[in-house]
């Protein structure tokens, strides 16, 4: 017997095809295309030349070592912060947590620039303080160790969030029972809490590893000058020296990145075994241990870390942006805002980049919102059998490194779009559609949590009032998910505006983004202009994070990624 | 307006298991007030949601007068049914004021301006909330929210009003007040109302008809007095009113209402203990158990002071329990003799 179509379903008929089309275009099509090109070129033997190239294996080795040590650094930093801030009676937790999140939200190329400004012979800050090493001595960050260190700084917050979520989900009564049975604080920590928080550690480490593997900004700025290539920067350099075999090569390289990422994500999935710490159980309250006389020590260590990973690099960045000309020492009399005038009023490239980034990000944020409100509604309210598959497909593009996605869309759009016959390769449209694909999950998540929290009877009451789908959407659903939708827009805007990896591969003259321009300015030696632009970007990041922080009270749980 | 007909309605969910509603047939007369009563999980909400159009029946059909609302292959969506529902969670839209909530069904129907304002005002005054029109739902008490939800139903003159345990979240005092409001509402609107509850006292106080469900099936439909006086089957007997159900030998013939002599003979045959007789379930209401100088001997199991009287649980010689009321206090363990004035074979 065939089941009659359920028209009691609250969804209009076009919703399912719409959602399927969106997911197909943003996820299935590019990734499928990438897989097909990879497999075809591997079978045609084009792979042989690439695979016998020692430079490739050097890049694989460098990717793995930098990512591994980066992961270790992230686990040490993020784990330490999560344990101290969650389990102990440290003061100023909210401020420390917020500041610790900042390095993750600052674009990686800006992080790299700021650290360069803090170390090495040409550091304006060190020169102003008279601490600079002699000219000609090497920049210590242009090395495997330097890349790994910055990976650690950049991704520490991922470990922090994962572990913290795990710690907050610990049953409080378990801890209390252990204490009542006579265990000291230290024993409880060692025997109960740490073993139980291992999955959080492992999951955080796995996500950090994946994020390191896909990072482009840091190895581009720190690695290329020292001829250290990771897989993403190798792809970039293949595109710069474009040749007949480029497409085949890059599709294989991105397949490698994809495999490394999938392996990392599989580890995360495995250790969490279906428990979504990031959504549930965040309201848990962990017993707080007293540090006693060690508290001062812990607080000083925490603030010192913030000083080193955040305050000093940013100070160096500001110092570099205020330096008059290359080599001129910075003092209160030589400081100048000339660099800011230059990027804001004189250079057309930077102004174009501002316009491009803001337009792209706004379009992505609002365009995606329209799609994700409908998709989120379908996934949460629909009783479709396909909902889990669709939800998984929607997640994948964001989980994969941006470089993989960029390559996938290049492959899709290298030839003119069939039927209409227009080529969007090299235009701003290809960047836009790749953004749509990459940030779909970012936009979807807050909207879905809002729909989950919404009592279905609110919509049912509107149906009985006679309101059709469009009407309910406009009058009831959208206003009720508005706070989460606002958060979704800000988050997507924030991430898209700071993005470099995708646009680095997809830009062409006139479609530069902020990330690309910062990188190019640095590449061409205009370090002070690059720094000034970076300072503006950091400022924008902080402002938007503060806005989200202020909104957080009115948002469903799990919407603001760094709040728990 | 017309009567609402449920025609051997069934609903199975995809998750499998036994059907949530199973071959339920029921006619609610025009302007009737039907209370749907039953234990938790018996399918009351599912029936209501099928009537509203949120679920499609897997078998059977729903008709409003001549108009087919739903069967297994076709269905009129809820937005076109001209029904209204009061949800257990009130389902007020938190981003709209009280007046906007109440006026929304009119807004959707394209009624605006003067006319809408007047209707909203009328509906709010019917639930005595005129002065709250500009408040936000969050600033109201539970009972006030429930009344806003009711006003929202009132405003469009729906054919059928559905209420799913509307009083379950309220305290006892407020429940009485709201029951009054519901009765007024019914009298005033003349709408057909279906009221889901698992509180039998509420059902009897409000409804013109009571339907009892269990495990997806309809057990009995009747007027409150009738269902109280002559329940069908053990389940209905246990659910409606207070009372004790005794297992006694089947009385002769098909008499159902039993008086004291009949009961006395049943109890005494029982005491003699003729084992293999067919057994019948006999419902004895506590007000029919009278403490007297002679009769059947019972011992007192428990005594509960209820204010107006004492509620007793009594044990017969063979251990079966009876309920009774008493004006004076008795002690646990005392032995009394009681007369059973009347009883009902289920
Ligand atoms: N959407 C659904 N999917 C699967 N099973 C359901 C669904 N809704 C209800 N059921 C099942 O159908 C049966 C009847 O549920 P229903 O909600 O109608 O009970 P109810 O009589 O309203 O109970 P209560 O008094 O507790 O509200 C239950 O066994 C329930 O588990
Ligand atoms: Mg129910």
For residue A487, give how far its alpha carbon lies from the nearest alpha carbon of chain B (Å): 18
Nearest CA in chain B to A468: B79
Closest in A7, A455, A475 to B91, CB measured: A455
Nearest CA in chain B to A481: B95
Residue ending a domain, choose from A264, A294, A318: A318
Cβ distance A425 to A410 under 8 Å?
A: yes
Q: What is the pLDDT of residue A4?
A: 36
> Of the residues B9, B10, B18, B42, which should be mutated to test ligand 1's pocket, given the most ligand atoms within 8 Å of the CB?
B42
Ligand nearest to the CA of B47: 1
Q: What is the CA radius of gyration of chain B?
A: 24
- With beta carbons under 8 A apart, name residues in chain A contacting B48: none
CATH number of the domain within which A404 lies: 1.10.3720.10
Same structural domain for residues A60 and A43?
Answer: no
Closest in A10, A455, A465 to B108, CB measured: A465
Residue B47 Cα: closest atom of ligand 1: 18
Q: Do A7 and B77 touch (CB under 8 A)?
A: yes
Separation in Å, CA B300 to CA A299, B245, B313 = 70, 17, 6
C-alpha A254/C-alpha A35 separation (Å) is: 10
B33 band by pLDDT with thresholds 50, 70 and 90 = very high
3-state secondary structure of B344: strand
Residues 72-91 of B with CB under 8 A from A: 72-75, 77-85, 87-89, 91
C-alpha B128/C-alpha A227 separation (Å) is: 80
The size of the A-B interface in CB pairs under 8 A is 82
Same structural domain for residues A358 and A302?
Answer: no
B55 touches chain A (CB under 8 A): yes
Buried b (16+ CB within 10 A) or exposed e, B312-324: bbbebeeebebbb
Closest in A6, A457, A468 to B79, CB measured: A468
Beta-carbon contacts of residue A522 (< 8 Å; ≥ 6 apart): A109, A113, A221, A530
How many angstroms is it from B46 CA to the middle of ligand 1?
Answer: 6
Q: What is the pLDDT of residue A385?
A: 83
Q: Do B109 and A475 touch (CB under 8 A)?
A: no
For residue A473, give how far its alpha carbon lies from the nearest alpha carbon of chain B (Å): 13
For residue A45 the two structure tokens come to 């033997």
Q: Which residue's CA is the nearest one to ligand 1's atom 26? A: B40
- With beta carbons under 8 A apart, name residues in chain B contacting A455: 89, 91
Residue A5 lies in a domain: no
- With beta carbons under 8 A apart, name residues in chain A contacting B73: 4
Residue A418 lies in a domain: yes
Rounded to 5, what percent of chain A is helix, strand, coil?
75, 0, 25
Nearest CA in chain B to A477: B93
Q: What is the pLDDT of residue A276?
A: 44
Q: What is the pLDDT of residue B210?
A: 92
For residue A380, give how far its alpha carbon lies from the nearest alpha carbon of chain B (Å): 16
Record the pTM. Answer: 0.81
Closest in A6, A458, A476 to B56, CB measured: A6
Q: What is the pLDDT of residue A75?
A: 94
Q: What is the pLDDT of residue A286?
A: 60
- With beta carbons under 8 A apart, name residues in chain B contacting A10: 54
Residue A338 lies in a domain: yes
What pLDDT digit, counting tens, does each position of B139-171 carry?
888 888 988 998 898 888 888 999 988 887 777
Locate CATH 2.40.50.140 in chain B: 244-345
Same structural domain for residues A249 and A376?
Answer: no
ipTM summary value = 0.80
Interface of A to B at Cβ within 8 Å reads 4, 6-8, 10, 383, 455, 457-458, 460-468, 471, 475-476, 479-480
What pLDDT digit, counting tens, does each position of A103-128 carry?
888 889 889 988 888 887 777 777 77
For chain A, which residues score pLDDT lower than 50? 1-7, 274, 276-284
Query: CB within 6 Å of ligand 1 — which residues?
Result: B 13, 15, 20, 38, 40-46, 198
| Domain span at A352 | 13-47+334-564
Q: Which residues make beta-bridge pairs with B322?
A: B314
Separation in Å, CA B9 to CA B30, B43, B165 = 19, 12, 21
Nearest CA in chain A to B163: A461
Q: How many CB atoms are located within 10 Å of the residue B47 CB? A: 29
Same structural domain for residues A359 and A503?
Answer: yes
Same structural domain for residues A176 and A216?
Answer: yes
How many angstroms is it from A255 CA to the middle of ligand 2?
Answer: 52
Fold exhibited by the domain B4-230:
Rossmann fold (3.40.50)
Burial class for A95, CB neighbours closer than 10 Å (0-12, 13-18, 19+): exposed
How many angstroms is it from A541 CA to the middle of ligand 2?
Answer: 48
Same structural domain for residues A397 and A531?
Answer: yes
Closest in A6, A10, A458 to B93, CB measured: A458
Residue A396 lies in a domain: yes
Locate CATH 3.40.50.300 in chain B: 4-230
Same structural domain for residues A77 and A103?
Answer: yes
Q: What is the pLDDT of residue B274?
A: 54
Cβ distance B277 to B269 under 8 Å?
A: yes
For residue A474, give how far its alpha carbon lies from the nearest alpha carbon of chain B (Å): 12
B34 band by pLDDT with thresholds 50, 70 and 90 = very high
Q: Which residue's CA is the nearest one to ligand 1's atom 12? A: B20
Q: What is the pLDDT of residue B342?
A: 86
Q: What is the dihedral of CA A507, A510, A514, A520, to 10 degrees?
A: 70
Q: What is the pLDDT of residue B272?
A: 53
Closest CA to A409 of A229, A284, A247: A247
Same structural domain for residues A202 and A343?
Answer: no
Q: Do A8 and B53 touch (CB under 8 A)?
A: yes
Q: What is the pLDDT of residue B25?
A: 93
C-alpha A562/C-alpha A162 separation (Å) is: 10
Q: What are phi and psi of B127, to 5 degrees?
A: -105, 15
C-alpha A422/C-alpha A424 separation (Å) is: 6
How many angstroms is it from A3 CA to the middle of ligand 1?
Answer: 20
> Of the residues B12, B17, B18, B44, which should be mutated to test ligand 1's pocket, given the most ligand atoms within 8 Å of the CB?
B44
Residue A328 lies in a domain: no
Nearest CA in chain B to A385: B14
Q: What is the pLDDT of residue B74?
A: 87
Nearest CA in chain A to B73: A4
How many angstroms is it from B213 CA to the middle of ligand 2?
Answer: 12
Residue A326 lies in a domain: no
Residue B39 Cα: closest atom of ligand 1: 25
For residue B189, give how far its alpha carbon lies from the nearest alpha carbon of chain A (Å): 17
Q: What is the pLDDT of residue A3?
A: 36
Q: Which of A412-416, B7-11, B316-320 has the highest mean pLDDT?
A: B7-11
How many angstroms is it from A561 CA to the middle of ligand 1?
Answer: 36
B152 touches chain A (CB under 8 A): yes
Instruction: Please determine, for residue B278, whether its predicted confidence score (pLDDT) is greater than 90.
Output: no
- With beta carbons under 8 A apart, name residues in chain B contacting A477: none
Rounded to 5, what percent of chain B is helix, strand, coil?
30, 35, 35
**Region B63-89: what's the mean pLDDT?**
89
Q: Do A465 and B105 touch (CB under 8 A)?
A: yes
Number of domains making up chain A: 2
For residue A5, give how far its alpha carbon lies from the nearest alpha carbon of chain B (Å): 7
Q: Which residue's CA is the nearest one to ligand 1's atom 11? A: B20
Q: What is the pLDDT of residue A19?
A: 93
Q: How many CB atoms are located within 10 Å of the residue A526 CB? A: 18
Domain B244-345 has CATH 3.30.160.60: no
Q: Which residues make beta-bridge pairs with B84?
A: B161
Q: Do B105 and A476 touch (CB under 8 A)?
A: no
Q: Which residue's CA is the nearest one to ligand 1's atom 2? A: B13
Beta-carbon contacts of residue B196 (< 8 Å; ≥ 6 apart): B35, B36, B44, B45, B47, B48, B162, B163, B164, B165
Residue A484 lies in a domain: yes
Same structural domain for residues A38 and A60?
Answer: no
Ligand 2 (ion): residues with CB under 5 Å are: B 45
β strands within chain B, DSSP E: 4-11, 21-28, 33-37, 59-64, 67-71, 83-86, 160-164, 192-197, 209-214, 217-222, 244-249, 257-259, 279-284, 289-305, 310-315, 321-326, 335-340, 342-345
> Of the residues B9, B37, B43, B163, which should be mutated to test ligand 1's pocket, given the most ligand atoms within 8 Å of the CB?
B43
How many angstroms is it from B327 CA to the middle of ligand 1?
Answer: 43
Residue A325 lies in a domain: no
Q: Which residue's CA is the nearest one to ligand 1's atom 14? A: B43
How many angstroms is it from B47 CA to the middle of ligand 1?
Answer: 10
């Amino acid at each position: 017997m065939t089941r009659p179509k359920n028209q009691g379903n609250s969804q209009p008929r076009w919703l399912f095809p719409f959602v399927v089309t969106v997911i197909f275009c943003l996820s299935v099509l590019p990734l499928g295309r990438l897989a097909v090109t990879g497999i075809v070129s591997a079978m045609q033997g084009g792979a042989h030349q690439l695979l016998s190239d020692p430079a490739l294996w050097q890049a694989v080795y460098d990717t793995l070592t930098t990512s591994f040590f980066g992961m270790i650094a992230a686990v040490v930093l993020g784990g330490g912060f999560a344990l101290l801030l969650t389990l102990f009676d440290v003061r100023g937790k909210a401020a420390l947590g917020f500041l610790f999140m900042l390095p993750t939200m600052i674009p990686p190329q800006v992080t790299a620039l700021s650290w360069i400004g803090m170390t090495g012979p040409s550091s304006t800050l060190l020169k102003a303080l008279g601490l600079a090493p002699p000219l000609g001595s090497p920049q210590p960050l242009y090395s495997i160790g330097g890349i790994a260190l910055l990976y650690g700084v950049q991704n520490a917050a991922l470990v922090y969030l994962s572990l913290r979520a795990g710690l907050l989900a610990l049953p409080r009564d378990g801890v209390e029972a252990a204490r009542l049975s006579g265990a000291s604080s230290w024993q409880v920590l060692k025997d109960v809490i740490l073993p139980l928080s291992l999955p959080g550690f492992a999951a955080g480490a796995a996500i950090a590893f994946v994020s390191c593997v896909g990072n482009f900004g840091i190895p581009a700025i720190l690695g290329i000058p020292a001829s250290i290539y990771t897989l993403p920067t190798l792809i970039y350099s293949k595109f710069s020296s474009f040749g007949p075999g480029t497409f085949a090569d890059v599709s294989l390289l991105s397949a490698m990145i994809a495999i490394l990422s999938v392996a990392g994500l599989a580890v995360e999935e495995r250790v969490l075994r279906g428990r979504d710490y990031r959504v549930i159980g965040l309201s848990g309250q962990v017993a707080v241990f007293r540090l006693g006389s060690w508290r001062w020590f812990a607080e000083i260590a925490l603030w010192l870390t913030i000083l080193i990973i955040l305050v000093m690099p940013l100070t160096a960045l500001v110092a570099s942006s205020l330096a008059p000309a290359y080599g001129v020492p910075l003092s209160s009399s030589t400081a100048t805002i000339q660099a800011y005038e230059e990027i804001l009023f004189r250079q057309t490239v930077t102004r174009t980049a501002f316009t491009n980034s803001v337009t792209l990000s706004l379009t992505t944020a609002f365009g995606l919102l329209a799609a994700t409100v409908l998709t989120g509604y379908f996934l949460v309210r629909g009783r479709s059998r396909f909902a889990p598959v669709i939800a998984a497909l929607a997640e994948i593009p964001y989980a994969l490194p941006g470089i993989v996605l960029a390559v996938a869309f290049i492959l899709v759009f290298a030839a003119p779009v069939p039927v209409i016959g227009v080529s969007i390769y090299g235009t701003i449209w290809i960047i836009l559609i790749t953004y749509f694909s990459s940030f779909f999950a970012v936009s979807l998540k807050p909207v879905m949590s809002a729909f989950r929290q919404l009592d279905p009877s609110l919509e049912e009451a509107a149906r009985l009032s006679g309101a059709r789908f469009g009407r309910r959407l406009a009058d009831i659903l959208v206003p009720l998910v508005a706070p989460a939708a606002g958060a979704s827009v800000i988050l997507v805007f924030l991430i898209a505006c700071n993005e470099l990896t995708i646009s680095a591969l997809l830009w062409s003259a006139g479609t530069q983004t902020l990330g690309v321009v910062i990188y190019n300015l640095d590449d061409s030696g205009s370090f002070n202009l690059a720094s000034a632009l970076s300072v503006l970007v950091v400022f924008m990041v902080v402002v938007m994070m503060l806005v989200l922080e202020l909104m957080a009270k009115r948002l469903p749980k799990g919407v603001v990624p760094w709040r728990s | 307006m017309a009567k609402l007909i449920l025609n051997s309605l069934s609903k199975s969910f995809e998750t499998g298991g036994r059907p949530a509603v199973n071959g339920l047939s029921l006619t609610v007369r025009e302007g009737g007030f039907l209370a749907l009563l039953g234990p938790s999980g018996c399918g009351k909400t599912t029936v209501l949601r099928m009537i509203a159009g949120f679920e499609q029946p897997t078998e059977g059909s729903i008709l409003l007068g001549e108009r087919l609302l739903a069967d297994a292959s076709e269905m009129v969506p809820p937005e076109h049914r001209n029904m209204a529902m009061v949800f257990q969670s009130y389902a007020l839209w938190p981003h709209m004021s009280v007046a906007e909530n109440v006026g929304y069904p009119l807004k959707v129907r394209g009624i605006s301006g003067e006319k809408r304002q007047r209707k909203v005002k009328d509906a709010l005054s019917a639930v005595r909330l005129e002065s709250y029109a500009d408040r936000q739902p969050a600033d109201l008490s539970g009972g006030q929210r429930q009344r806003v939800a009711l006003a929202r139903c009132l405003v469009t003159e729906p054919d059928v009003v559905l209420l799913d345990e509307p009083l379950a979240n309220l305290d006892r005092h407020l429940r009485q007040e709201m029951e009054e409001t519901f009765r007024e509402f019914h009298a005033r609107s003349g709408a057909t109302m279906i009221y889901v509850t698992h509180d039998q006292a509420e059902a009897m106080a409000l409804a013109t008809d009571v339907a009892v469900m269990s495990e997806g099936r309809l057990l009995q439909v009747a007027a409150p007095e009738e269902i109280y006086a002559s329940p069908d089957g053990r389940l209905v007997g246990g659910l409606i009113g207070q009372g004790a159900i005794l297992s006694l030998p089947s009385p002769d013939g098909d008499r159902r209402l039993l008086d004291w002599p009949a009961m006395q003979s049943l109890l005494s045959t029982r005491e003699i203990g003729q084992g293999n007789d067919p057994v019948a379930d006999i419902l004895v209401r506590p007000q029919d158990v009278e403490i007297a100088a002679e009769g059947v001997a019972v011992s007192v199991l428990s005594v509960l002071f209820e204010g107006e009287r004492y509620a007793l649980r009594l044990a017969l010689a063979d251990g079966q329990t009876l309920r009774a009321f008493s004006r004076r206090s008795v002690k646990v363990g005392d032995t009394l003799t009681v007369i059973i004035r009347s009883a009902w074979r289920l």
